[in-house]
Each structure stands twice: as structure tokens, then as C-alpha cells.
Structure 1
Amino acid sequence: MSPLNTIYRRLFIKKLYYICLFILFIIILFNKTINNKINELSILYNYSLTYQNLDMNLTNICESFLNIEPNQLVARQYENYSTKQHLLYSWKSMNDCKLFRKSFQYLLWINKEELNYPIAFAFTVYENIDRIARLLRLLYRPYNLYCIHVDRNTSNEFYQSIVDLAKCFGNNIEIIKRSHSVSVKWGYFSVLDSFLKCTQIMLNNTKIQWKYVMNINGKELPLRTNWELIKALKALNGANVIGCTTKNGPKKRIPRRKPSFNVTWIKGSFLVALRKEFVREEQHLMKIPDEMFFSTLAYNPQLFAPGACREFYPPNENDNQSTFVSRFVIWKPKRCATGKRYHTICMLGVQHLYNLTKRQELFANKFHNGFYDAAYDCLEYWILKKMKNERLTGRLDPTFNPQFYANLHCSKNHV
């Protein structure tokens, strides 16, 4: 073989070598692209499941209840209907943390408005770790602040499960120490005390500059997404959300010793949304029963509590401006469609779903575990669906109207 042929042969082999390398590179790149597409499809599939948390059977049932008010005969079929087999994600122990995190990581879409308006949430809990986990999943954002008070009457195992759950979410969840917790009894100061312990921790937190605090229990669900909550709170124009019912009563709840200043005792609700400045002020005031504490401060403007209403506006069904927007609650003697009450409060069921989607309140109370579980699951599905649409469109639900909150009596006339 001549020297020239040898050179041509070497050049050909070298060229062939580079061509093979190029082809190999293309194959690797193609496989990587295909794998990425498969992973994207898998993520999108899990993403869609996360936002419904139900299999298709219960999803179809929920869509029906959310869009059409059922007759009582149909609704009763779901009174004791167990939905556990339809749930895709639930919390049982810390061993579920990795999987459970996947079930809410896609919920954590952050927009600038939410990031710049952190909210604080104070939980009072005593049972049902799974529902607490699901409630926290709906409300959790890494820029908000959370505090959980676990009833002292609960077991150490339950307390530890709450600690584990908090660790699974993030370090912006504070747990009241076991030694500092109280035994909560309905209608007594202990209800208020558990909340005050949380607010003290929150006021001492300098990392998260929260604007409002809301107290939450494990038997309710939000009717608003986090973004909607922020829009509603901003629309309040610095007012608090504190319900009121009657003046100077009931007498058995009024302190026997008359204060040295002028005050009118007001009965209202313990379930509230409070300005940070209001919370800082009430830390220094006298302790009175839970259902009179906030309402008395809120409707005595001469006490100058930040955000207090200048006039007393009792609830009136014919006056939307007097709506108690903190909670949707059906109190006795109003008709209870499910026929079951807990502390004079109607237990919600699938009969209420259609109406709930059209309400302006921030939360719905109460849901009882084992009683119309489908109602809880379907309302959760509805909120998750709204959160999904916010993420996909970058817009709020078209039915949400922040102006409703701006038109409330107290939003227009407060300290």
C-alpha cells in the first residue's frame, strides 16, 4: 500500500470515528429527551392526581354534589359512606413523609402578591391526624407562619405524630411544648388560652412579618385559596373579622367585677381573623371567656383596639354588609339538613356542598369524621381544583369577588 493510500485510509478511519461519536451522542441525547418527556408526563399525571386526591369514581360524585343541590333521599345514601378507598394520599406516620410531600409539593405555587403578604394560622387540635394533615396541606405555604396547640388530654403518641407532621412540612410550623399545653374545654377560658399561647409565639417571631392571624380547628376546611384569603384580608382595609351577636349577655359569661372603664360586653364568635396590631394589643388586656373576648374588644371603639368597629352591627340575613365572613356556621335554631349537631352547631354534609361553593366566608365549620366523609373530601377537591386553576392560568377564580369584603360595615368604619 502506497504512503498516500495509507494517509487516506487513516483519514477515513478518523472521519468514521467522529461520525460514530456524533451518532452515539445523538442517540444518548434522544434517549435523554425521551426519558425527560416520560418524567414530565409522570409529573403531570401525579400533578393532576395531587390536585384532586380522589379516584375518578368519587370525583364524578363530587362534581355532581358541587353543581347540583341533591334531594334528601340521595344525600342520605352518603351519611355513613366510607371514602377511604377513594383517597390517593393520606397521612399515617412519619414513614409517609416522602410520599406525602409529593402530594403537596405541586400546591406550593408562589406568586409575588402571596409572598409579600404572609398570614399566620393558629391551630387547636386533639384528634384525627390524617384530617389535620390534609387541612395543613391546603393552607401551607413556606412564607406563612403556623402554630399548633395539641390538647393536653391527648396521648403522647398523638402529640409526637403532630411533631412529625410539622417536620414533614417545614420549619415555619411551631408546636406548643407539651409542658405548656392546656386541657381545652368548650365554653371555658382554656379555648382562648390555647390561642393566646400561639399568638405569643407568633408575635415573638421576627423572621416572618405576618399581617393577620386566623384561628383554626381540625373540624373545618377553607372556602378560599391562600391567594383569595390575601385578597379578602386586604379588602378589609385594616379591619378585623370578628362576629357579634348580642350586647350585655349572656350574664353568666360577664365578669362579676365591674371594670374601672366604660365597656359594653359583646357576645360573638371565637373564630376570627385578626390584625397583628390587634393581637399585640389584646395580649395586655384582661382575660374573659372566649366568645366575649374578641367581640368585646372589637365593638368598643373607646378602647382603641386596632381595627375595632365604630358601630355595632349584629348579623342580619338581609344585610350582606353584616355577614360574619370568618366562618360559614349553621347555629341552632337554624335548620340542620343533616340532622346532627355538635355543641349547637350543625354537622355539614353533602347537602351543603352546592351552597358552600357560592358562599363568601373564609372557612366552613364543622365536619365530623365518619359522618358524611364525602362532604369533606368533595370540598377539599373543590379547593384543590381552584388552586390548580390559579397555577395554570395565573388568575383568581372568576366567581371570587374581593369587593364583597371591602363593603362590610366594619371595613368602612373602624378604628
Structure 2
Amino acid sequence: MTRSRMKKYFGSTLLISVIIYAAVTIFLYYAKNTTVQKNSNSGSQCNFSRYCPAILNGEEEAYQLGDNCQKQWKPETFHIQEPVNCFQIKREHHFITGVLSQEEASYPLAYIITIHKELEMFVKLLRAIYNPQNVYCIHIDQKSPEDYKRKVKSLTDCFDNIFIASKLERVIYAGFSRLQADINCMKDLVSSRVKWKHVINLCGQDFPIKTNQEIIWHIKSKWEGKNITPGTRQPPNMKYRTQYSYKEEINNGNAYIYQLNQKKTKPPLELTIYFGTAYYALTRKFVQFVLEDAYAKALLEWSQDTYSPDEHYWVTLNRLKDAPGTTPNVSWEGNIRAVKWAPIAGPSLDECYGHYVHDICVYGLRDLKWIIAQPDMFANKFEMSTSPLTVKCMEHWYRNRVLDQTSATIQPHWFLED
């Protein structure tokens, strides 16, 4: 080999060696940093499998460890890459993609979920209650950022049985728009190819306590063919909601409802107004009644300028003797929601270990033991931004219950990561 060829050969070899060394160095650097980033929430001190069961058991040492972990825990973020890979989304976010039992396959449910914030909380709720035989209508507050709406649509488009409501409302807390959002979803659901038995409404800060199978058992035990709308006759301290007219307004980005100096007319058709929860489990026939019956339409029209009409509309219609699936003689039965009310707002005597929003407890870690002991189908409220470990612990407990109950072959991606 000539000197010039040797020089060229060794020069090329050296260049290749430098390139390989640089590539390996870069790879190891990013691999190391990626691993640190991925595991930064799950170091030995904050190992999820160690402290979550202890928290659920109410062990004080576990609470203290959980509180310390909460301070350093980075809330999960949900990313959607373009173009959307639906196969990857279902697996990476641990959606259960198979029917878990024959009983569940023969008793499909419908869900209405109204959301406006915290995409990650919505994803966790959706994957918890998702079953391929059910159907889900998602109502996104029209005021939500466009990027939020786009991400939700990208997710829901990956599923044949999840869709966004065909008409969206600018929802205002305690306003008629909140009731109208449910009505919009109901109009879509009655034309669904899924022959659902009951429809259940949720908000983005709910989370299930009962599994899908247990919800079906709960309905069949007492409420098959019946509607669940807990409530009672409107008490005197709630009459202000329907005695005066109210108006919704959005001003400089602030949405609110206020009372007008104008008394309302009496309820239409001599209806007796009831007061109850805004959340329900309704039969398909009752939903059709709500959309078509003259009494239902008259009450809906009259309710447009009332305060929090969703807390009197469903429960009032379900007390009519001729309504399908009516339950005129029940009161607060039904076990729809586990809620810790502020002392000034409700009957709950249980202490809130998180914080209150609209007089409802946003749960903390120390509330979990109480939550899982409740007989209700769902609990409210959870918040990723203030207590992400409360949500994470709850969803691990719940997913383990779901998988323990199934007779189906469990797929590896159905298990949640620590």
C-alpha cells in the first residue's frame, strides 16, 4: 500500500471512528436523560407499588411519604403526535380493547361526559370506564381552547364508539347551558347503533368506584328498567332557584350567572318541582320521553332562566307517574356519587383532606380510604393539577379490580405502569 493510500485509509478510519464515538456518546446521553425523566417520579423513595396500598389502608406513615412524593411528582402529560397512530395511542394509554364478560357484552351502557379542562384527567377517566360494547358522547365546553378541543378529537377519533357531541354549548356553571349540554348528547345517543340500556352522565373530574360489571349489578339489583335520580321535593331554602329569573353572561372571559329582579311564573302544567342531584342513570325509553314528551319540553322551556336547572329537571320528570321507568316514591337512594360537601353546603360530616371548590371537596390522598369504602358508582371531585398522586393511586386500585373480575384473556397493555 502506498504512503498516500495508507494516509487516506487511516484518515477515513479515524473519521469513521470519531463519528461512531460521537453517535454512541449522544445516544448514551439521551438514553440516560430519557430514563431519568421517565423515572423521575418513581425513585425508590416514591415507588408507587409500595405506598399506594398502604395509603388505601389509611396508614399514617404512607400518608407522610405520599405527601413528600406529591411535592416532587410531575403530573403526566398527554401528547398526540401527527399523524395520529391510533394503535399506539390505545396501547400506550392502556385502553381495555376487549369485552371483559358476556354479561357486560349483553348490557351496554351509554355515557355523557362534559369536559372543559385537564386533558390528562379526562384521559384517565375515559380509559377507566372504557369498554368496547359501550358508547360515549363527549361534550367539550365551547369556551375551551382550540388546542384542547383538537387533542380531544384526535383521541376520540381513534374509537368507533366515542364521539364528540354534534352541538357544543358555552357552558356556565349553574346555568341552563349545563343542562342543554346533556340534552345535546342525548339527541346524538338515541340514534346510536349501540342499543344501550342506561345512560350515565359524568364530568371531567369524576372517577369510578364501581367497575363496569359492578355498575350493571347495581342497576339490575333494584333499578333495571328504572331511572336513578336521587332527590326530594324542593325544600324552602332552594326555592330561590326557581322563583326568580336568572341570566347567563360571559364578560371579558369570565362566565357567570346572576339573578334578575323578576319573578318567574308558576311551573308549567301544574308540575311539582323537585330538587336533587344533577347526575343520573336513565333508561333509553326515558331519554326518548325527555326529547319528545310535551311535559318534558314545557319544563325545559320554563327552566331556561332558572338557577342550576339540572338539579331539578331530571328529578322532577322522573317523579311523573306516566314517565317511563319512573320512581316517584324514592328519595335520595341510588348511590350515584360519593361527594364530601363543605359543612355549610351539605350533609357530609366527613373531613375533606384536599380543598373545596364550589363547596365540594377536591380529594387528597387521605380521602382515598373513605372513597373506596363508599357504595356509590362514582366519586367527585379529582384534580390532576393539585393532587396527581391521588388520581394515580385511585386509578391503579380501580384497574386492578377490573382485571381481577374479568374472565377474558388479559392483554399486557391493560396493566397500568407505576
TM-score normalised according to structure 2 size: 0.71
Structure 1, residues 190-233: CA drift from partner, whole Å, max 9, x if none?
1111111001000122x110000011111111011111111112
Which position in structure 2 is the counterpart of 1:158?
148
Provide closer, same or farther for how the CA distance between residues 162 and 353 of structure 1 changes in structure 2, counting only shifts above 3 A.
same
Q: CA deviation at 1:54?
A: 8.0
Paired position in structure 1 for 2:327: 309
* Structure 2 residue 316 is matched with structure 1 residue 296: yes
Distance change (3 Å), C-alpha of 1:339 and 1:127 = closer
Q: Secondary structure at the match of 1:81?
A: helix
Query: What amino acid does structure 2 have at the position aligned with 1:350?
Result: L
Shift of residue 386 of structure 1? 0.7
Distance of aligned partners of 1:347 and 1:114 in 2 relative to their CA distance in 1, 3 Å threshold: same
**Using a 3 Å threshold, how does the CA distance of structure 1 residues 152 and 283 change in structure 2: closer, same or farther?**
same
Whole-angstrom CA distance in 2 between matches of 1:70 and 1:132: 30
- Say if 2:201 and 2:280, in contact at 8 Å, map to a contact too: yes
Q: Find the partner of 2:89 among 100, 125, 139.
A: 100
Task: Label 1:82 to 1:144 Cα distance change in 2 as closer, same or farther (>3 A).
Answer: farther
SS of 2:240 mapped into structure 1: helix
Find out whether 1:243 has 2:253 as its counterpart: no
State yes or no: 1:326 paired with 2:324: no
Task: Give the Cα separation in 1 of the matches to 2:268 and 2:204.
Answer: 38
Q: Cα deviations across residues 220-260 of structure 1 (Å, max 9, x unaligned)? A: 11011111111112222322221215525522222622245
Distance in 1 of aligned mates of 2:231 and 2:102: 34
Secondary structure at the aligned position of 2:313 is classed as helix
* Cα drift, residue 155 of structure 1: 1.6
Taking the TM superposition and a 5 Å limit, the aligned residue runs for 1:334-345 are: 334=348, 335-338=350-353, 340-345=355-360
Q: Which moved more, 1:125-134 or 1:71-80?
A: 71-80
C-alpha deviations, 1:154-210, integer Å up to 9, x for none? 122111111101022x11112124xx31111111111111111001000122x1100
The equivalent residue for 1:278 is 286
- Matching residue within 134, 153, 168 for 1:181: 168
Pick the structure with more strand per residue.
Answer: 2
* CA gap 1:312/1:388 in 2 versus in 1, 3 angstroms: closer
Give the deviation of 1:68 after TM superposition.
Answer: 2.5
The equivalent of 2:207 in structure 1 is 221
Give unmatched runs, 5+ long, in structure 1: 1-52, 316-321, 395-415
Alignment of 1:54-93 (within 5 A): 57-68=47-58, 70=60, 74=64, 77=67, 80-84=70-74, 91-93=78-80
Tell me, in whole angstroms, the C-alpha distance in 2 between the residues paired with 1:392 and 1:124. Answer: 32
Q: For the residues of structure 2 that align with 1:71 and 1:327, how far apart are their CA atoms?
A: 29
- The number of residue pairs the alignment matches comes to 325
Residues of 2 paired with 1:187 and 1:57: CA distance?
A: 41
Larger Rg: 1
Distance verdict in 2 for CA 1:220–1:106, change over 3 Å:
closer
RMSD: 2.7
Partner of 2:100: 110
What displacement does 1:98 show? 3.9
Give the superposition deviation at 1:336. Answer: 3.5
Aligned counterparts of 1:73 and 1:137: Cα–Cα separation in 2: 27
**Structure 1, residues 275-310: CA drift from partner, whole Å, max 9, x if none?**
111111112312121111111122x333x2222223
Cα distance change of structure 1 residues 67 and 130 upon mapping to structure 2, 3 Å threshold: same
Map of 1:403 onto structure 2:
none
8 Å CA contact 1:229–1:362 kept in 2: the answer is yes
TM-score (norm 1): 0.72
**Contact 1:271–1:326 (CA<8 Å) still a contact in 2?**
yes
Counterpart of 1:77 in 2: which secondary structure?
Answer: helix
Deviations 1:329-372 (A, max 9, x none): 11221443225111111111111211222211000100122222
SS in 2 for 1:147: strand
1:198 corresponds, among 185, 191, 205, to: 185
Aligned to 1:353: 368
Distance in 2 (CA, whole Å) between partners of 1:114 and 1:193 is 30
SS of equivalent to 1:62:
helix
**SS, match of residue 199 in structure 2:** strand
User: Is this contact kept in 2: 1:91–1:100, CA < 8 A?
Assistant: no
**3-state DSSP class of the match of 2:207?**
strand
Question: Superposition pairs for residues 375-414 of structure 1, below 5 Å?
Answer: 375-391=390-406
Instruction: Give the Å deviation of 1:70.
Output: 3.8
1:375-408 superposed Cα distances (whole Å, 9 cap, x missing partner): 11111001110112123689xxxxxxxxxxxxxx
The answer for the alignment partner of 1:212 in structure 2 is 198
Shift of 1:83: 3.6
Question: Identical aligned pairs, as a percentage?
Answer: 26
